Amino acid sequence: MNILVNERQARAQMVKVTEEALIVDLEDGRTISVPLVWFPRLLHGTAAERANWRLIGSGEGIHWPDLDEDIEVRHLLAGIPSQESSDSLQRWLQTRKQKGM
């Protein structure tokens, strides 16, 4: 049996990033928790960088300006980790290293 679920209405209202997980509370009362390793920029970010987030698209996504990371709530619900290429991540890590981070 196939079940079609419309998750376009899911919106974040609160975000917490621990050393191991990204935890997002949704407006409808659900909480999503995914492994931090799914999002390498968050994984490599400092606690201060992880704490500096804002909701985008009325809560349809989350943006971390210090890490140049955007995550869509619908991707979290679908179990989709970061789609960033290894080359892009390596360039970002190198830039951070050059800045002393």
Residue 60's pLDDT is 96
Contacts of 32 (CB under 8 A, 6+ apart): 23, 24, 26, 73, 76, 77
Mean pLDDT in order along the chain per 10 residues (101 residues): 58 97 97 97 97 96 97 96 96 92 78
Q: Which two tokens stand for residue 88?
A: 């892009």
Nearest Cα to 60, choosing from 15, 12, 17, 6? 12
Q: How far apart (Å, rounded) are the C-alpha atoms in residues 64 and 94?
A: 19
Domain ranges of the chain: 12-98
Query: Residue 7 has what pLDDT?
Result: 46
Cα(19)–Cα(73) distance, rounded to whole angstroms? 20
Pick the CATH number of 12-98 from 3.20.20.140, 2.60.40.420, 3.30.70.60, 3.30.2020.40: 3.30.2020.40
pTM value surpassing 0.85: yes
